Structure 1
Amino acid sequence: MNQSQSINQTPVGTPAGPLEYPSSPGVLDETRGADGALKPGWDYLLDSIGNLGAEVMRQREQKARRILRDDGASYNIYGKPGSASNSWELDPVPHVISSEDWSGIETGLVERSELFNLILRDLYGPRDLIRHGALPPEALYSHGGFLRACQGMQMPGEHELILHAVDMVRQADGTMCILSDRTQVPSGAGYVLENRTVMSRVFPSLYRDSHVHRIANFYQRLRLKLTSLAPSGDIPRIALLTPGAHNETYFEHAYLANYMGFSLVQSGDLVVRNGFLWMKSLDGLKRVEVLLRRVDDEFCDPVELRPDSQLGVPGLLEIVRNGRLVVANPLGSGVLENAILLKYLPKIATQLLGRELRLATVKTFWAGDDADFEHITRDFDNLIIKRAWRAAGQASVYGGDLDDNQKQALLADIHRHRYHYVAQPRLAKPCIPAFNGTALEPRANLLRTFSVATDSSYTVLPGGLTRIATSTEGQFISMQEGSPSKDTWITASEPERVLQADLDEDQPRSLPETQADSLPSRVVENLYWMGRYAERAEASMRLLRTVFVLLNGEEPISPEAQRILLQTVSQATYTLPGFTAATPEQLANPEPELLQIVRDGKRSGSVRSTIESMLRAAEESKESLSTDTIRVINDLRDALDNLDADLVGGLASAPEEALDPLVTALAGLSGLTQESMIRSVGWRFMDMGKRIERSLQTIATVKGLLSSVGGEMDQSVLLTAMLTSMEALMTYRRRGRERHGMELGLELVLLDRSNPRSLIFQLERLEEHLQELPTSDPAAGELDEEARALLEATSTLKLTRLPHLLQTSGSTRPEVNALMTQLAGLLREFSRFISDKHFDHRSGPQQLFTTIRGVR
């Protein structure tokens, strides 16, 4: 039995016949050599996939999508209607490159990284390239990526450029041609790791038998390099600076931070004090010595660079200049993305390296050069026109795709701003096989590779991020246009030899503190509100389900009981005034308002709005959540998307069933946080949020349902509603053999320590958390304000006598109303004191100019 047969046993019931990848005469196809035969690596892969068949491939593709969804892998496509967070697209057929082929590519990539490192050091140093005529001064000084404020700043060691990415395509002669360089905030390496993780799970045997080169060593090299850059020489705190959850590649930021053990921070998490950079955590300021940034150069410091930026840290550039912080890639490295450099790269390479580069670079014409300008004007229809400096909203265009008016307008702008434009020929991109759901078809591809500085040179990631066109005819490839990705396999004829040093580097390094012990206070605050919103949504839906069942029940309820139930819904969900100001007609026909409370996302307090708030808080603290937690959150998002369809028919179609998937998912989330989450400070604040919110929801429900006195039947309905919504009805019935009534119901809900939903249970858990907070001092004589508020609430509740509480005065129970009002006030004070002490110390960057409109 050969290799392909051993892994490709087609299940019974799948369509007969192999899945073939036909040759396409006249099409540049990367899978075949000049003789038309499949290249090494491709032959085994396509034979194996062919034997699987279309049905099995569909199953594997669906499995890959499930894994990506469970991991929360996303890529935000700006301006695209629909969900703000789009699923990452991975084609199940990998891109294969043989080890022999890769060896030459790797050598050329290392050489290019070395050259760009020398260019960066020269442009912010002596500028010999300009003095010796290798680069016109206009090419540098007209470029927006050149930051004069970074003049003379140097990284420790031999390398200025830490991370380098290039986009390249294979040419007809089999060699690679580089289209562009990414040096400012090179993105994609995290998606490479995610793609590899997924593919190794979806095709484990195929992956193993193909002898694919490991990529984990690249990320360990990056971590070691950043650690070695620490100014103090000690094991540093390394942070990854992200623009935030709305950035297109935020998933990658959180994923890499988790994988490499870095703190994921936003601008508000950092502050410059006493000449150093500090991260704000609950237990004080923590010094950051190395910052891996994903924020563009000009946004990093609103004091010296772009004054309207709210993504950077005021004073950041000054401490870098003083050698007290290392930023990777260094500020100002965006100058290397200057497309004008590509025109002069042969001359630059000769001057700095003494030879031309091994890997070709796409021919580039600069409108600032008179001869090139004439060529651009003359051959406009056959060229790709682009800005020398990439910025948001400035995509490259193909001259032949423009109409006459667009062409004249662009030519006029090139005339006015000649230094700002370059042009390049349109290179044909080679095709590789992609799975379209039923067959394999050729798609154009573009490969992004990565290199990282080491002590002596650069290490290249053995693989990369392959992107493909969305159709067989397309040549335009862009993630913002929805282009799928592929895992890139560098294959060998025999298994890769793994050295002990590589295995050692895969082991986690000891750090002075774990990341869980020093989370940014922003993350902890979001975990706190995630707990509150999750509990608020669950309690609201439990109450709503109870009300739906009672309204649709066989036994009619009185108008007075219905009024109390509906008003309690408005009070407990904070959707005021709602039923508290409803007319008799609205109370008699509650369906429109109840459905609004469930599904109106624009209404504060509605089920949809509350869950969406919880999802936003979860997204902001994503790096602290486990894979299972993210999976449950994705289930919540899916159930929320289906809510409107499930509510068709209104109250007449059992709307409580539409809420069941949401309640189940929230209950699963609660179970995960209790049973699978490390008892770190993040968990404590999440659980505190949950306990505070459950207490407030209990208080609101008791106050709403039991403050009024009605007839015996009404009291029974309202008591049943309270016990049902709080999951205590079965216990009440079991204990009711000895005694029953309102007193037993209140005891279960308020004072029963064995009931995990009782009010006393929540308050006692809050007391335990309070003792464990980082700033608490049990030995201190005087109580803090939050401790006072919580102690008063707990003592007041414990001193309560239920018979006294249930005394009536006319049609009300004033003691119930007074106690619940007092307890709610104390808990809100407690929450405010906690927020003031642990969260509100942050002072965000002051806006020095106008509001930022967008960031690339």
Structure 2
Amino acid sequence: MKTLCVTTMENPSNQHPLPQDLHYPSPKAGVDEAYDSEGGIRPHWRYLLHSLQTLGAEAIEERQKKARRILRDDGATYKIYDEPNANQNWQLNPIPLLIHSDEWNRIETALVERAELFNLLLQDIYGERSLVRRGVIPPELLFSHRGFLRPCHQVKLPGNQQLILHGVDLVRAQDGQMRVMADRTQAPSGAGYALENRTVMNRVFPSLFRDSQVHRLSLFFARLRQQLQDLNPNGGTARIVVLTPGIYNEAYFEHAYLANYLGFQLVQGGDLSVRNGYVWMKALDGLKRVDVILRRVDDVYCDPVELKGDSRLGVPGLLEVARLGHVAIANPLGSSVLENPALLRYLPAISQALLGRDLQMPSVKTWWCGNSDDLEYVCSNLKQLLIKPTYRRPGLYEVYGAELDDKKLQAWQNRIRKNPLQFAAQEYIEGAHTPTWHQGQIHARPAVLRTFAVASENSYTVMSGGLTRVNLDADKKIISNQQGSISKDTWVLASEPEKQISLRRSDITAASEHSSALPSRVVENLFWMGRYAERAESALRLLRTVFIQLNKTEALPDSVTRTLLAALTHVTMTYPGFTAWHEALFKQPEPELIAIIGDPQRLGSLANNLVAMMQAAEQVKEQLSSDTQRVINDIGDELEQLKHALQPGALSAPEEALAPLITTLLAFAGLIHESMTRGNGWHFMEMGRRLERALQIIATLRALLVSEYDEAEQETLIESSLLCSEALIPYRRRYQNGIQLQQALEMLMLNRNNPRSLLYQLEELEQHFADLPDDSDQLSSERKLLLEATTSLKLSDVNLLVASQHNLRGGLDKLLARLHHLMSQVAKAISQRYFDHTEGPQLLVKNTEWQEQL
């Protein structure tokens, strides 16, 4: 077996041996991307492999760790449906797949031709259907497929290109030529991940990337943005949205990433509504017309009125608006019919019928079980074939017969014979091996490349690269993200530096107001993200204060200990907790304290609030900067570390264990304040924070200061209140006569210069309310409630509030109770006015027997 020995690109004749700590073996059999048929290194691979050998294993491993950190900080995830507990972080191998530009030119020409053919095929299927009438394809092939949607007949986009995005999976066969394994036409995924991979590789290997003269990906996305703008059927500046199924979709990261990169609003079905023949986005300041939808929802789920009646992901009436020509949907509804792998069997005849010639790049040999001869061949050769359902759906994936035992093979044969129209089979092609980094060495692994074409003017533009996937496990035969494959960047290498091409329009337009219009779902999640973050920070500060007080040199009086612990339960609302007054609970409080901190299933616990905050952040990740995403990831990490640090019987200086998480939450608040644009989203996040902080201040003061104690005990509780609000040091500077309740209440409730006082929160809320869109001359209900709360607080007399009767400060308790009620009503009024709580469409009749079964 040969080992890697390469030369530099600058001096091909140089035969000096290279460092031998990394070896990439030449193939025993089959095709390899790096080796030619003579066993020599291909010229365009030499510089990369030489550079990797020069770096050495330790440096490459360090680069991979850096890549993982960047991907994690970016929030890059991919969910595997069958393994919900598996690692969801996007995986990137540090060695890219290289393709020389000469070969890529041939691939690109073939893919443009293929995209044009599929565009004509889509028009024929939902138009004249001449291919069926002429017998080019059997009618059963079309009409038995779930992706063929009769309601989409004659629904057309503006322009000649109906298929806007086309994705293809390519594999290199044993003859060294590329073959097409599959076409992706419904909502082709992977382009966003390819762009993320490129961004990471550029950062991890900057000089290697620059010196390799890699073709850019940005031109493809510029073409996509321009094409979507040109699809606008309504004139003027187009409002373009990316329609996502939501955070539980496997590729949700890509949806948010593309929306951010392209500058479009990310929406879910509930954010849109159909009225008067148009699609509207439900924003805070009214309905905003949507002109173009880049969809990431499967077409049958897009309209519960005409397509799948129980869908909660779509927009009722969407197809009718598309039929009227008042909204453009890319790709158009019904395009999933082109993903039928059985079409590949008939593609040569289709190409002759529509183009008058054979395709330059053939497909992998395919059989359709709806054809009787094909059925018998497939059933007789299952062990050598890939078995594919003609209609993809979660939980039903392709299988390779060679990986099945006799019992499973027989079960598949029975399944196919029962529903032959629903299955196709393909020749298994392992694919060319490519250098892949795994466990400190370079291994050979088969690869599959997915690349994309986007409609542009009168033809298509192909991405110069794509998403390469490999299996690290050499025994795995099927390469698929849903089955655990990982990704590679794909470098198309130019022979000379690439020319800079700009697609920027020459005319200068005014800034669009489209970006400031946010769906009510988005502002609701921002509002609750602010509330949960503040709720968690308040709990942390109180916990830290309680730990500090309990761990003092001198033991606290029993009454103070009970009050402090009970305050934890009252403020966090983790009832019954320390309000139960079980003697054993106060003698051994550690288990309850640990549960308040780390039990994610305990409502009101620190972990529960932080998980809720991170879930809300996931819903609006397209609104957050990369730095904010990084800090949110850090919050999750600190929470996990805190759970491990706080173990029963090991609470040594527990307040120190809480400090990193408090600091990270402060960093989150600082980033939001310093880097988030002052739009409606920022206002609602800040409103959530201010409202929650006001409620937390009220709850803390009621729990600690309403009951009267003797002077020493009272001083400890007042000090605890000041500590919770970071006001102890300012208090001591302001007042020189020791700790007094009147002065503490003035500092915590009425000092408008203290950013953690109650009055400060109310006045900040009023300012945010004033900045929100409001075309009414009258005060809204939330502003009336806030005005009453602010007035009650300002009119209060501290001297009267501290007066007590029967060891209870009734005036203080009454005021705080009233303020708590008013602020709770403010939160309710905000929700009722600004957030959408309408129920989704409901089926009048539901009969599971109507569902098609495979």
TM-score above 0.5: yes
Please name the residue that 1:101 is paired with. 103
**Counterparts of 1:757 and 1:595, CA distance in 2:** 27
**Counterparts of 1:721 and 1:296, CA distance in 2:** 55
**Counterparts of 1:715 and 1:585, CA distance in 2:** 25
Aligned residue identity for 1:375: Y
**Counterparts of 2:846 and 2:79, CA distance in 1:** 25
1:345-364 aligned within 5 A: 345-364=347-366
Q: How far does residue 75 in structure 1 lie from its aligned partner after superposition?
A: 0.8
- Alignment deviations for residues 667-713 of structure 1 (CA, whole Å, 9 cap, x no partner): 10011111111111100100000000000000000000001011222
SS at match of 2:611: helix
Aligned residue identity for 2:227: K
Change (3 A) 1:113 1:367: same
Gaps of 5+ in 2: 1-6, 12-17
Please name the residue that 1:656 is paired with. 655
SS at match of 2:92: coil
**Counterparts of 1:572 and 1:850, CA distance in 2:** 45
Matched, 1:112 2:114: yes
**Counterparts of 2:509 and 2:625, CA distance in 1:** 21
Please name the residue that 1:693 is paired with. 692
Q: How far does residue 562 in structure 1 lie from its aligned partner after superposition?
A: 1.4
1:410-429 aligned within 5 A: 410-429=412-431
1:248-259 aligned within 5 A: 248-259=250-261
1:804 aligns with one of 800, 806, 827:
800
1:326-405 aligned within 5 A: 326-405=328-407
1:134-213 aligned within 5 A: 134-213=136-215
Q: How far does residue 845 in structure 1 lie from its aligned partner after superposition?
A: 3.5
Q: Is the 8 A contact 1:4 1:47 kept in 2?
A: no
Q: How far does residue 28 in structure 1 lie from its aligned partner after superposition?
A: 2.4
Change (3 A) 1:850 1:202: farther
Change (3 A) 1:43 1:619: same
Please name the residue that 1:468 is paired with. 470
2:244 aligns with one of 230, 242, 258:
242
Q: Is the 8 A contact 1:591 1:651 kept in 2?
A: no
Matched, 1:740 2:739: yes
Please name the residue that 2:810 is paired with. 814
**Counterparts of 2:142 and 2:149, CA distance in 1:** 10
Q: Is the 8 A contact 1:308 1:848 kept in 2?
A: no
Q: Is the 8 A contact 2:82 2:395 kept in 1?
A: no
Please name the residue that 1:300 is paired with. 302
Change (3 A) 1:361 1:63: same
SS at match of 1:91: strand
Aligned residues: 837
**Counterparts of 2:223 and 2:439, CA distance in 1:** 38
Q: How far does residue 841 in structure 1 lie from its aligned partner after superposition?
A: 5.7
Q: Is the 8 A contact 1:536 1:610 kept in 2?
A: yes
SS at match of 1:169: strand
Q: Is the 8 A contact 1:548 1:651 kept in 2?
A: no
Matched, 1:28 2:24: no
Please name the residue that 2:671 is paired with. 672
Q: How far does residue 371 in structure 1 lie from its aligned partner after superposition?
A: 1.2
Please name the residue that 1:537 is paired with. 536
Percent identity over the alignment is 50
Q: How far does residue 508 in structure 1 lie from its aligned partner after superposition?
A: 9.9
1:448 aligns with one of 439, 450, 455:
450
Q: How far does residue 829 in structure 1 lie from its aligned partner after superposition?
A: 1.0
Aligned residue identity for 2:669: S
Please name the residue that 2:432 is paired with. 430
Please name the residue that 2:76 is paired with. 73
Aligned residue identity for 2:512: P
**Counterparts of 1:362 and 1:506, CA distance in 2:** 44
Matched, 1:572 2:571: yes
Aligned residue identity for 1:513: E
1:657-806 aligned within 5 A: 657-738=656-737, 740-775=739-774, 777=776, 780=777, 782-806=778-802
**Counterparts of 2:384 and 2:638, CA distance in 1:** 49
728-737 or 843-852: which moved more? 843-852
**Counterparts of 2:484 and 2:274, CA distance in 1:** 39
Please name the residue that 2:15 is paired with. none
SS at match of 2:749: helix
357-366 or 550-559: which moved more? 550-559
2:126 aligns with one of 121, 124, 132:
124
Q: Is the 8 A contact 1:18 1:52 kept in 2?
A: no
- Alignment deviations for residues 359-385 of structure 1 (CA, whole Å, 9 cap, x no partner): 010111111112111111221211111
**Counterparts of 1:432 and 1:788, CA distance in 2:** 68
SS at match of 1:200: helix
Aligned residue identity for 2:723: T
**Counterparts of 2:843 and 2:815, CA distance in 1:** 45
Q: How far does residue 533 in structure 1 lie from its aligned partner after superposition?
A: 0.2
SS at match of 2:820: helix
1:843-854 aligned within 5 A: 843-847=839-843
TM-score (norm 1): 0.95
Q: Is the 8 A contact 2:190 2:467 kept in 1?
A: yes
Please name the residue that 1:610 is paired with. 609
Q: Is the 8 A contact 2:9 2:46 kept in 1?
A: no
Please name the residue that 1:559 is paired with. 558
**Counterparts of 1:16 and 1:755, CA distance in 2:** 64
**Counterparts of 2:402 and 2:176, CA distance in 1:** 27
SS at match of 1:156: coil
**Counterparts of 1:511 and 1:306, CA distance in 2:** 39
Please name the residue that 1:9 is paired with. none
Q: How far does residue 599 in structure 1 lie from its aligned partner after superposition?
A: 1.1
Change (3 A) 1:5 1:774: farther
Change (3 A) 1:5 1:67: farther
Gaps of 5+ in 1: 7-14
Please name the residue that 1:833 is paired with. 829
Q: Is the 8 A contact 2:8 2:50 kept in 1?
A: no
Q: Is the 8 A contact 1:54 1:437 kept in 2?
A: no
Aligned residue identity for 1:355: R
801-810 or 420-429: which moved more? 420-429
2:54 aligns with one of 8, 31, 51:
51
Please name the residue that 2:324 is paired with. 322
**Counterparts of 1:712 and 1:40, CA distance in 2:** 85
**Counterparts of 2:598 and 2:846, CA distance in 1:** 36
Please name the residue that 1:11 is paired with. none
Q: Is the 8 A contact 1:121 1:160 kept in 2?
A: yes
Q: How far does residue 425 in structure 1 lie from its aligned partner after superposition?
A: 1.5
Q: How far does residue 586 in structure 1 lie from its aligned partner after superposition?
A: 1.8
SS at match of 1:92: strand
Please name the residue that 2:226 is paired with. 224
SS at match of 1:248: coil
Please name the residue that 1:512 is paired with. 512
- Alignment deviations for residues 719-748 of structure 1 (CA, whole Å, 9 cap, x no partner): 111111111111122233145311121111
Q: How far does residue 662 in structure 1 lie from its aligned partner after superposition?
A: 1.7
SS at match of 2:43: coil
- Alignment deviations for residues 394-417 of structure 1 (CA, whole Å, 9 cap, x no partner): 111122322233222221121111
**Counterparts of 2:749 and 2:190, CA distance in 1:** 53
Q: Is the 8 A contact 1:220 1:506 kept in 2?
A: no
SS at match of 1:159: coil
2:65 aligns with one of 62, 69, 78:
62
Q: How far does residue 41 in structure 1 lie from its aligned partner after superposition?
A: 1.9
Q: How far does residue 510 in structure 1 lie from its aligned partner after superposition?
A: 5.4
Q: Is the 8 A contact 1:277 1:325 kept in 2?
A: yes
Aligned residue identity for 2:64: E
Q: Aligned-residue CA RMSD in angstroms?
A: 2.0
2:274 aligns with one of 272, 275, 285:
272
**Counterparts of 1:598 and 1:577, CA distance in 2:** 15
Aligned residue identity for 1:736: Y
TM-score (norm 2): 0.95
Q: Is the 8 A contact 1:366 1:419 kept in 2?
A: yes
